[in-house]
Structure 1
């Protein structure tokens, strides 16, 4: 490694950022009658399934496949389509097409496993830390000695953990990492924030020698809510968190870093969007029987780009 540049062998292809940006929007997609974002609810469903005793392999595949499909379908999931009278076979075909359309950059063997994923829906009891993490905002950008940069609305820790878990699974083939380990470590890597508000880098520096013991105690309090076998699996998976010396550690830290940066980029990118991009590239006023009228209207009002 030279000049601070990460060799290609240690980084995913840059083209995967497009998919990661789309997945990141699941933190911001909400719908009537449902609490929280899609990412919030996938986080809760993952923990519900794990606490019910579902195999970890089923859970990481189901969650990742559901997240990919949701980049196309938003909150139109099995429950919504069922309520609309769309039959089971048709529903599965729609979700399968959504997965395929979203998965252009997904490793082929991994995609084959995702195609066989069971439904991600799980609504059984979850540990209290799930709601606590969903209610705990992320700190924004902090640095010792500098004012905090807080971009609204902030993401929460459930959304961040879910997204790192999904990114991590998708990055596993690049690092030859085990997706079940990366997924579980990612899903649990902020358990301490169920109890500890996020003060960011600046606050962590000020905690000094108290930081690690406090994080460890808060993490153990969260783990105590889990069935003993699952708690043991989480502890084992979290062994990859301290460094990037293992394939799993590299996949996790790549996912964590990219999500942290892309979250801020999303705010900056939205602020730079032009009216020309929105109207022309994104077709805000899209093709249809009244588009000629709409175009004349916008031109007359000085809003055409």
Structure 2
């Protein structure tokens, strides 16, 4: 058994195409997780368009079933859905998940953004089968994969997802302001100290082969962006170390950050991991097109 992960959109807030973001990419959040019996899409940002093109090529007219897990419905996490080519094919089934039975909020929001005031094609005109589903209150087996959900810290709420296949595990945790959750706020200003985070979050992430974590801000940027719903990249390192994560992808890069800025941010994360004796932790910046297998 194996898991496959591919990054299709890694930027936060708004797409940022241009020469300064060519290396890491300018599309907003969209990550593909594939197992032998299930295909998952984490968020429907603008990166979903390129994912759809790739899926249409490989499907070649054959039936396709995908499971869409939205962290939340802020614009940068849903804007790619109307441009997701497979939903225009009658051979596609897209299951849109809420947390509890009857929770169709994400389904309604996706259909609502295709109203005639916003988009020329109506949701009812889609040839594909788009249906509302749920995670049975927080944990459900989908195909061969156990999918769990955890509410996290973001204005209006956000959800983190854990995908477990046998002894393999991937956690997708974006739009989560970790720095508001530090149990001793003084630790945030002591670089030599591990910032302690809530046990439910640490347990949710514990032992992950890959943690995809919102690290939008640098330590310098964050003080002017408190309560905006995003983390310092450096605090993602503390979570990963506390949870014994094997590798962490710093995700949801700020739209103002160039490729050079992201590189500097990641180097700072690696220095923090080394300072906290986390030499076994692999740290990298999420980048469009990167593929991982576990």
TM-score (norm. length: structure 1): 0.28
Higher fraction of helix: 1
